[in-house]
């Protein structure tokens, strides 16, 4: 009996593991559970990240670079498209200085074909002291021709325009600097206007006007006349005498010689290629700034000389703006209310013989100056009949 009890006791002791073995098994089970928990947590986090990534892709519109040429800005979330590059700014105001503006305007595509339907525009650049007394006449002139023109106004720095949103001149004043008559600051203002207009890739022709200028024909006629011409309209005469070659200074050599010296009207019309030449120039500008000072009036010599040296065959050697110098003096005649008659306006376009595309033309002038503010009333009355608005 005792033997059996001892054997049973031995069996009981063999069937139950020792305490240390039980603890090891429990630890292994606990580790396995924790590993399973970690794996589950990792799977949840991975799934969450995947869901967030999908939403981010939809939000930023990230596309396959192989299948699309659209670039994405990760800072402002706005895609850079061809349209955003071509769209001209609604407001011509900017924060660039002259050096930055001329540098930016000098950028031009080298390919002659456009990857979009380009409608060439005529840029009207007004060089003024401030107000535009003939704004109502110009408003009538531009009406109905949206998309075919652009407007840029350079006034004195302290001038603030008050045009409302309905006006074609609303927000068309560019950053400006003071201008002195007959000095290089005048050409600086003209280059500022050209550079601002060049920022619009659709601007193909550039007309410089003053606040005392008026149009002599309707927009359609002027657009067709300019766009149909093989030449740009800038004077480049080799004029003898004290007001021509007499203004030349030997210090301009070797860049500019006396035989290359030219003179022309300040008021011009040029195409995009010539406008780029003007804003890109760093060769002739320093010479004119140093040596062409009154009685050498730089606005009559700088552009005509420079462009005639490099692009003479593209210049018509005449201006499109009529000016009356018959009374003599440093400034042309000014026309007031009493001067504006039907016969007077009819005679201005053909006041002088000229060539258009190498053929005689009855129309030589598309604009005229100088007109006093008092001339506005009769001009508005005669415009529909005589000017063809």
Q: Could you please report the per-residue DSSP string of 35-90?
A: HHHHHHHHHHHHHHHHHHHHHHHHHHT---TTT---EE-TTT--EE-HHHHHPPPS
pLDDT (0 to 100) of residue 62: 41
Give 196-237 pLDDT, tens digit per residue.
999 999 999 999 999 999 999 999 999 999 999 999 999 999
What is the C-alpha separation between 381 and 377, in angstroms, rounded?
A: 7
Mean pLDDT of 55-71: 45
Asked if pLDDT for residue 51 goes beyond 80, the answer is no
Q: Which residue has the higher pLDDT, 262 or 326?
A: 262
Angle at 264 between CA 299 and CA 306, to 5 degrees: 70
Cα–Cα distance, 111 to 213 (Å, whole number)? 36
**Burial of 278 from C-beta contacts in 10 A (0-12 / 13-18 / 19+):** buried
Q: Does pLDDT of 94 surpass 80?
A: yes
pTM of this structure: 0.79
**Mean of pLDDT over the chain:** 87
Summarize the confidence of residues 274-292 as an average pLDDT: 98
* Mean pLDDT calculated for residue range 286-293: 97
Degrees, nearest 5: CA angle 251-252-256: 150
In tens, the pLDDT along 15-36 reads 444 555 555 556 566 666 777 7
280 has a pLDDT exceeding 90: yes
- Measured distance between the N- and C-terminal CA atoms of the chain, rounded to whole angstroms: 136
Identify the pLDDT of residue 57. 53
Predicted pLDDT at 384: 92
Dump pLDDT digits (tens) for 136-185: 999 999 999 999 999 999 999 999 999 999 999 999 999 999 999 999 99
Tell me if 278 sits within 8 A of 195, measured CB to CB: no
Does the N-terminal peptide bond of residue 134 adopt cis geometry, omega within 30 degrees of 0? no
CB-count exposure of residue 208 (10 Å: 0-12, 13-18, 19+)? buried
The conformation of residue 270, written as its DSSP 8-state character, comes to E
Strands 359-361 and 354-356: antiparallel
List the one residue out of 202, 128, 199 whose CA is nearest residue 373. 128
pLDDT recorded at residue 65: 40
Report phi then psi at 137, rounded to 5.
-70, -40
What average pLDDT does the segment 246-262 reach?
A: 97
Read off the pLDDT band of 47 (50, 70, 90).
Answer: confident
| 319-371 residue pLDDT tens | 999 999 988 777 899 999 999 999 999 999 999 999 999 999 999 999 999 99
Cis amide prior to 301 (ω within 30 degrees): no
Q: Which residue segments constitute the domains of the chain, with CATH numbers given?
A: 82-107+118-387 (3.90.550)
Measuring CA to CA, which residue among 313, 221, 225 is closest to residue 273?
313
The structure tokens 């005792």 sit at: 2
What is the structure's pLDDT at 61? 46
pLDDT (0 to 100) of residue 11: 40
């Amino acid at each position: 009996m005792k033997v059996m009890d001892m054997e049973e006791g031995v069996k009981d002791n063999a069937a139950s593991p020792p305490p240390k073995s039980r603890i090891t098994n429990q630890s292994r089970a606990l580790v396995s559970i924790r590993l399973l928990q970690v794996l589950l947590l990792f799977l949840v986090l991975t799934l969450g990240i995947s869901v967030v990534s999908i939403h981010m892709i939809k939000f930023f519109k990230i596309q396959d670079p192989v299948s699309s040429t659209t670039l994405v800005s990760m800072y402002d979330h706005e895609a850079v498209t061809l349209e955003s590059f071509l769209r001209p700014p609604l407001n011509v105001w900017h924060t660039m200085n002259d050096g930055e503006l001329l540098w930016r305007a000098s950028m031009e595509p080298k390919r002659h074909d456009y990857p979009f339907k380009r409608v060439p525009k005529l840029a009207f650049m007004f060089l003024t002291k401030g107000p535009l007394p003939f704004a109502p006449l110009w408003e009538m002139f531009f009406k109905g021709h949206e998309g075919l023109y652009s407007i840029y106004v350079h006034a004195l720095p302290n001038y603030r325009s008050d045009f409302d949103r309905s006006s074609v001149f609303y927000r068309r004043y560019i950053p400006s600097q003071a201008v002195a008559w007959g000095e290089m600051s005048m050409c600086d203002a003209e280059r500022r206007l050209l550079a601002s207009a060049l920022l619009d890739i659709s601007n193909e022709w550039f007309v410089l006007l003053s606040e005392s200028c008026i149009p002599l024909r309707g927009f359609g006629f002027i657009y067709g006349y300019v766009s149909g011409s093989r030449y740009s309209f800038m004077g480049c005469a080799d004029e003898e005498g004290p007001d021509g070659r007499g203004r030349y200074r030997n210090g301009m050599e070797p860049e500019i010689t006396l035989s290359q010296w030219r003179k022309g009207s300040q008021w011009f019309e040029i195409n995009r290629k010539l406008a780029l030449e003007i804003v890109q120039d760093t060769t002739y500008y320093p010479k004119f700034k140093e040596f062409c000072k009154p009685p050498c009036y730089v606005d009559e010599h700088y552009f005509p000389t420079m462009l005639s040296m490099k692009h003479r065959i593209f210049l018509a050697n005449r201006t499109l703006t009529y000016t009356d110098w018959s009374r003599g003096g440093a400034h042309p005649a000014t026309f007031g209310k009493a001067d504006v008659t039907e016969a007077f306006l009819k005679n201005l376009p053909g006041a002088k013989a000229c060539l258009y595309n190498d053929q005689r033309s009855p129309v030589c002038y598309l604009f005229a100056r100088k007109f006093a503010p008092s001339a506005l009333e009769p001009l508005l009355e005669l415009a529909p009949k005589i000017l063809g608005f």
